Structure 1
Amino acid sequence: MAARFTRANGLTFAYVEAGPPDGPLALCLHGFPDTPATWRHLLPRLAEAGFHAVAPWARGYPPTGVPDRVRVEPDTLAADVNALHRALGGGRDAVLIGHDWGAIAGMRAAAAAPERWRRLVTLAVPPERVLLGAAGDGPQVVRSRYALAALLPGAEHRMASADAAGFVRLWRRWSPDYVPTEDDLAPLRAVLRSPGAPRAVLAYYRGFVPAVLSGRALSHRVPLPPQPHLMLHGRDDGCIGVVWAERSIGRLPHPASRVVILDGVGHFLHLERPDDVGDLVLDHVVAPGTPPSTATAQPSTP
């Protein structure tokens, strides 16, 4: 699929799309280190279900614009998501699907503008409130050492010069039973070879990690999305431990929300088990709309 372009939140975003342009918007957000190619299995299924399925390159990931900023706050990413809803003609029936950084941006966007998003799916990242204790958890700090490395001098040069083998090692650590293919790696190499992209990609961590370490970013001031929310996590995730997904059970506000933990998969669960994950996502997003609720009960399925 050829890239298309739109303006949102003061930036030019590139995206790929599938399905009828007049269908309900299904916005699919990638994470790090990744590109819209991560949704190559899910986009056709969403399109077959009648959605206008759109997967943008996130800010700083060419061919989307590369802003000259050293730090990017998560709220900026959320503003991008809600601006894309407007730019792409989304209605109140739109749904939001995010993995990794896309999950963080998606949760913040859905909480900030609940009238825009009917349902929400996040993969591999629990709500920030749940992650409140992660900074003091030894095993999770070890898993998150890649994020701390983004703060060190020379990080941009190391990322710009990274070869495919380096990304394979990272993906294998996060998803031990998945070997990334050229469909994964070729688009990623193209992004990181672009001028300014390594700095822009690392800006996410430089805007977030210091706040995490100081306890500000994961405070109770970050609202939980009120929509029906499906949260998916791999039991073998080497990036964010499954314990944090388990601690999310019973924490999602809407009574139609649930947490599903998949055995035998890691961080890139939608690539490892695309059929199973696709079934779960489609079952959730095609369900009848339910208005956002302030209820605290949440039946969750581990």
Structure 2
Amino acid sequence: MYGHPIQFTRTSMLTLAYEEHGPASGDPVILLHGFPYSPRAFDDIAPDLGAQGYRVIVPYLRGYGPTRFNSPGTPRSGQQAALAQDLLDLMDTLGIEQAALCGYDWGGRAACIVAALWPHRVRCLVTGDGYNLQDIPNSAQPLDPQTEHRLWYQYYFHSPRGVEGLTRNRRALCELLWRLWSPTWAEGPALYPRSATAFDNPDFVEVVIHSYRHRFMYAAGDPALEWMEQALTRQPPINVPTISLCGADDGVGPATPNDEDRDHFTSDYERRILPGVGHDIPEEAPEATLRALLDLMQR
């Protein structure tokens, strides 16, 4: 079912599943997947880093794979602050003071938030599509029509019909998103089943629905995380060495000619646009992702 032996660590909210490569004494690297993906996105990256002596941690985000909530009373939140808190808790329970972070989509959001609010915990950052912090207070402002069209699935999830659709058709719906978001990735359809098993988690639907409702202020967040959400409304800068990887063929957020995120980064920063690559950056472009990490870690 899974591609590598699963380990578990218990945080205050989760029994968090993760895969580990390389020696425990190595410099830590944490690789974070997005929606609707899984740790399989890093199968061509994590073993390579481990073989080079890095301690590589690849967690299953809340709502994915064998990760489980510890209590039935814990809100099944998918909000950005919850993802960041999970990352911090993972680092704390594994005794990791500082790590190189690499993430995209939901995982990129967690990595960017920790880099912005706790820069001393982040050695460097590889982020898919730049500055991933949500600007929730301004989420009600309409975007250009083409962008709104690409976000159809988010609006679908705002409705009871969308909840039922994701519940009944999670495999087919997520497969459709894979194809739409990576339209030029020929290998994607064959690789999809490797990740799709991670969506069978009993909390997957609730976490996903909450994520897309909270970001538009249609659902309240976890009260315990409200302080972090308030901090994120200020859109804090990221002050760690960063490389942003952007897929030129990304079907949900195509790379723009101008880097609209540049001013959010106040340390060494570089943007790399990847031709022929869609949304699932590490799985579509493992060599470019690995190179970005090594370029930062070997400086």
TM category (shorter chain) comes to: 0.7 to 0.9
* Residue equivalent to 1:247: 260
* Residue equivalent to 1:91: 97
**2:84 aligned residue (75, 78, 88):** 78
Question: Does the alignment pair 1:32 with 2:25?
Answer: no
* Residue equivalent to 1:225: 238
Q: CA deviation at 1:120?
A: 0.8
Question: Does the alignment pair 1:185 with 2:193?
Answer: yes
Q: Name the CA distance, whole Å, in 2 between partners of 1:220 and 1:157.
A: 31
Q: CA deviation at 1:277?
A: 2.6
If asked which structure has higher relative contact order (CA below 8 Å, sep 6+), I would say: 2
- Normalised by the length of structure 1, the TM-score is 0.83
Q: How does 1:1-302 map to 2 (within 5 A)?
A: 1-66=4-69, 69=75, 71-92=77-98, 94-124=99-129, 126-128=131-133, 135-162=142-169, 164-178=171-185, 179-181=187-189, 183-188=191-196, 190-210=197-217, 221-243=234-256, 246-254=259-267, 256-287=268-299
CA contact (8 A) 1:125 1:240 kept: no
Q: CA deviation at 1:245?
A: 6.9
Between the two proteins, the alignment pairs up a number of residues equal to 281
Gaps of 5+ in 1: 288-302
Give the secondary structure class of the aligned counterpart of 1:210. Answer: coil
CA contact (8 A) 2:170 2:199 kept: no
State the Cα deviation string for residues 204-249 of structure 1 (Å, max 9, x = none).
Answer: 212213379xxx9897602122111111101111111312872123
Give the secondary structure class of the aligned counterpart of 1:96. Answer: strand
Q: CA deviation at 1:177?
A: 1.1
State the Cα deviation string for residues 108-144 of structure 1 (Å, max 9, x = none).
Answer: 1122211111111111353437997884232222111
Letter in structure 1 aligned against 2:249: D
**Percent of aligned pairs sharing the same letter:** 29
Q: For residues 33 and 222 of structure 1, do their structure 2 counterparts lie closer, same or farther at Cα, with a shift above 3 Å needed?
A: same
Q: CA deviation at 1:70?
A: 5.3
CA contact (8 A) 1:235 1:264 kept: yes
Q: CA deviation at 1:29?
A: 0.8
Gaps of 5+ in 2: 220-228
Q: CA deviation at 1:17?
A: 0.9
What is the RMSD computed on CA atoms of the aligned residues? 2.7
Letter in structure 2 aligned against 1:97: C
CA contact (8 A) 2:114 2:121 kept: no
CA contact (8 A) 2:78 2:208 kept: no
State the Cα deviation string for residues 39-94 of structure 1 (Å, max 9, x = none).
Answer: 111101221232111111111223111465354321121111111111112133x1
